[in-house]
Structures are given as structure tokens and as C-alpha cells.
């Protein structure tokens, strides 16, 4: 091996050693990182937070940590509140390393920090929640609850029933009026017929019939106006009652005290959790921020009873609504039956009046016909009785002097 070859090898070895030394001395810090220099496990110097290229002694170690806000999300914990409610609370928080030297001395890495935060935050959450009622962890303000449409419907159900019944009242008002108009028309028609049938009567009789018709029409008109006025007053009174009922329910809703008043509230509880946990976290070089209650729920055994109670309450509401519907249906059916009976009775009365007038007219016509030709009238009535009393095989036994068989005898 020549002298030049040995020299080249020595130069290459020196360059390699220099490169290895330079590589072990240099390290980089990213924008979101910070580093602590350790010499055989002991912290040397101050933390390095400036991003870029840095140098250290080759046998020193550069331990890097994230200096951004990190997420902590613990497991749900079972807690008993002050009012003896058994609930599960799930909490999340944000934290970051503010003192890397203290952090590495007590925790060494981020995984260990997550475990210690589990103990710190779970303990703080348990202490705060256990000293307050459940409503304090749920609500943040004392604003009144907005009444849902279903609750309003339940509160105003009775008033709505009255409104539903009142909605059909105009038809009930029109019906008597129409009936009275029909009565007037019927009276006018009857009187007109009577006037036509009595053309042979004297002028004084016609005048008396006209005056009687006018009097009856006037009485019917007065009755119609009285009925309309009474029905209008009834509708007005019912509308006033409905309006007063709605106003009373609205006042009661506004004057009812809020049963879910809070003294602390959810935001204050989270602030207390942060305050309690931050004291222990600062001892570890950690800053806590934005601790929140992510979810609050009953434990499974309590959930079943809550669901059963909800089903029971919904069943009661459904039963009440169904009962109200059946009551309203009964009212409507009763009103229909009453109106039907009234209409049928009026129709029966008018039919009987028409039938009576027709029978009187027929009797008068028969009487006039009898007076004009009594013998012909007697003959026709006898033939009619023959037709009704005799059939194809009827045997009739009468004397020869009987008036009933006189026409048969004369025919023979």
C-alpha cells in the first residue's frame, strides 16, 4: 500500500468521523415543537422553543414535545349527584405543556400525562358534580322553558272543544230561521189554496182569510227574529267565555313559577372543575383549558325506569286526548240526534197539517158533490163498498128488503 493511499484513507476516516459528530450534535425544532436537553437523564440548560437548526453536545439527548393544545377525552364515570341521581358523565378537555422541564421530570412523556389527567379531571369532576343537583349540571340559565305545541294543545283542549262546538253554531241558527220561512211559505200556500177553494164564498170570508194569513205571517216573522236574536246572543256569550278561558290559561302559564331554578349552572360547574384540576396540573407543568361536560346520561338501570315512566306519561296523554275526542264525538252525535229529532218532529207536524188540510178539502169536495146529486153519490159509494167487500168467491147473504142489495136487485 502506497503512502498516498494511506493518506486518502485517513482523510476519509476523518471526514466520516466529522460527519457523524456533526449529525449527533445537530437537531431541528419544528414550528409546533419544543425540546429539552438531557445529559444522562438530567435536564441541561433551558428549554428550546425556537424553530430551526440547533446544536448540542454529541452525547446529550434532545427530548421533543408538542407545544400545541392537545385533546384529552376520558371515559364516562358514574357519579351520584346531591339529589341522589345516578348518572354517567363524559368530560373532555384541552391541555398543553407550559413547563417542559417540570413535565419531563415528573411525567417523562405525553402518554403518562394522559394517565395523570385521567385521575386529576375525574376526581375534580366527581367532587364538583356530587355536591350539586342534577339540574345544575344541565342548565346554564334560569330562562323559562318554551311550552311545546303538544303541551299547549293539552292545556287548551277544553277550550278547543268549546270552539269546535261553537263552530257549528251558525248552522243551528240558520236551521230555525229556514224552518220559520218554510212555515210562512206553507201558511201562505195553505191560505192561497183556501182562498182558491173558497171562490164561491162571500167577499167578507175572503177578507177574513187574507187578514188571518197576514197575522199568521207576522207572528212567524216575529218568532224568527226573536229566535235569531237569541241564537246570536248565545254565540256571543260562548265566544266571550272561550276568550276569557284562553286569557286565564295564558296568565296562569306566565304566573307559574319556574320549577327548574338553578343557583350555580353548568358553566359555573365547569369553571370549578377547571379551577380544582388546574392546581394539580400546574404542578406537572401542564395548563388546562376548556373543560366541558360532553354528555350526561342516566345509568342503564335508571334509564329503563325513566323510559317506562316516559311511556306511561305518553300513554296518559294519549288516553286523555282519546277521552276528549270521545267526549267531543258524543257531544256532536248528541247534537245531531237532537237536531234530527227536531227536524223529524217539524216534518211530522207539517205532514199532519197538510194531511188534515187535504182531508178537510176532500171532505168539502165530497160534501159539495153529495149536495149536487145525492143519489149519484150514494150509488158511487155503494159500488165502492161492493168492490172492497166482495171478491171472486165471496158469498153474500142479505134480505131482499136490504138497502145494501137494492142496486143488485134493481140490476137483476
Q: pLDDT tens across 156-165, in order?
A: 555 555 555 5
| 26, 55 Cβ separation under 8 angstroms | yes
The topology (CATH level 3) of 70-145+261-298 is Tetrahydropterin Synthase; Chain A (3.30.479)
Decide if pLDDT at 36 tops 90: no
Between CA 63 and CA 59 the distance in angstroms is 13
Ranges 93-102, 133-142, 309-318: which has the least confidence: 133-142
Decide if pLDDT at 381 tops 50: yes
Report pLDDT digits (tens) over 276-316: 999 899 999 999 988 898 888 888 888 888 888 889 989 99
- Residue 187 — very low, low, confident or very high, per pLDDT cuts 50/70/90? very low
More reliable by pLDDT, 262 or 75? 75
| 217, 184 Cβ separation under 8 angstroms | yes
What are the angstrom distances between the C-alpha of 367 and each of 15, 67, 176, 361, 374?
156, 126, 39, 10, 9
Residue span(s) of the chain under CATH 3.30.479.30 come to: 70-145+261-298
* The pLDDT of residue 298: 86
- Full-model pTM: 0.51
More reliable by pLDDT, 140 or 410? 140
* The pLDDT of residue 77: 87
Decide if pLDDT at 203 tops 50: no
| 18, 10 Cβ separation under 8 angstroms | no
For range 9-35, the mean pLDDT: 77
* The pLDDT of residue 72: 92
Is residue 124 exposed (0-12), middle (13-18) or buried (19+ Cβ within 10 Å)?
A: buried
Decide if pLDDT at 217 tops 50: yes
Rg value, the chain, Cα? 54
* The pLDDT of residue 277: 92
* The pLDDT of residue 183: 46
For range 2-9, the mean pLDDT: 73
Amino acid at each position: 500500500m502506497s503512502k498516498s493511499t494511506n493518506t486518502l484513507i485517513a482523510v476519509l476516516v476523518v471526514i466520516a468521523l466529522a460527519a457523524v459528530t456533526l449529525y449527533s450534535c445537530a437537531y431541528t425544532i419544528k414550528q409546533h415543537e419544543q425540546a429539552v436537553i438531557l445529559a444522562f437523564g438530567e435536564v441541561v440548560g433551558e428549554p428550546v422553543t425556537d424553530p430551526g437548526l440547533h446544536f448540542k453536545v454529541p452525547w446529550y439527548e434532545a427530548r421533543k414535545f408538542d407545544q400545541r393544545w392537545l385533546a384529552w377525552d376520558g371515559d364516562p364515570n358514574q357519579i351520584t349527584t346531591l339529589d341522589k341521581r345516578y348518572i354517567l358523565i363524559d368530560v373532555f378537555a384541552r391541555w398543553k405543556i407550559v413547563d417542559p422541564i417540570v413535565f419531563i421530570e415528573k411525567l417523562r412523556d405525553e402518554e403518562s400525562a394522559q394517565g395523570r389527567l385521567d385521575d386529576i379531571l375525574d376526581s375534580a369532576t366527581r367532587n364538583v358534580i356530587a355536591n350539586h343537583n342534577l339540574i345544575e349540571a344541565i342548565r346554564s340559565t334560569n330562562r323559562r322553558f318554551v311550552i311545546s305545541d303538544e303541551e299547549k294543545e293539552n292545556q287548551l283542549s277544553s277550550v278547543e272543544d268549546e270552539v269546535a262546538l261553537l263552530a257549528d253554531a251558525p248552522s243551528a241558527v240558520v236551521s230555525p230561521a229556514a224552518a220559520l220561512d218554510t212555515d210562512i211559505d206553507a201558511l201562505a200556500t195553505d191560505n192561497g189554496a183556501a182562498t182558491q177553494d173558497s171562490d164561491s164564498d162571500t167577499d167578507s170570508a175572503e177578507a177574513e182569510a187574507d187578514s188571518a194569513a197576514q197575522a199568521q205571517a207576522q207572528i212567524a216573522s216575529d218568532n224568527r227574529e226573536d229566535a235569531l236574536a237569541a241564537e246570536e246572543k248565545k254565540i256571543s256569550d260562548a265566544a266571550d267565555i272561550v276568550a276569557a278561558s284562553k286569557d286565564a290559561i295564558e296568565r296562569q302559564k306566565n304566573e307559574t313559577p319556574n320549577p327548574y331554578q338553578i343557583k350555580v349552572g353548568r358553566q359555573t360547574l365547569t369553571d370549578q372543575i377547571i379551577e380544582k384540576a388546574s392546581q394539580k396540573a400546574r404542578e406537572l407543568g401542564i395548563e388546562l383549558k376548556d373543560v366541558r361536560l360532553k354528555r350526561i346520561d342516566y345509568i342503564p338501570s335508571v334509564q329503563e325506569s325513566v323510559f317506562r315512566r316516559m311511556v306511561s306519561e305518553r300513554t296518559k296523554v294519549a288516553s286523555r286526548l282519546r277521552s276528549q275526542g270521545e267526549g267531543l264525538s258524543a257531544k256532536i252525535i248528541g247534537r245531531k240526534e237532537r237536531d234530527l229529532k227536531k227536524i223529524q218532529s217539524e216534518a211530522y207536524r207539517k205532514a199532519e197539517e197538510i194531511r188534515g188540510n187535504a182531508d178537510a178539502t176532500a171532505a168539502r169536495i165530497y160534501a159539495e158533490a153529495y149536495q149536487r146529486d145525492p143519489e149519484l153519490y150514494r150509488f158511487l159509494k155503494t159500488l165502492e163498498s161492493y168492490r172492497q167487500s166482495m171478491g171472486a168467491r165471496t158469498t153474500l147473504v142479505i134480505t131482499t128488503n136490504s138497502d145494501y142489495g137494492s142496486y143488485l136487485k134493481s140490476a137483476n
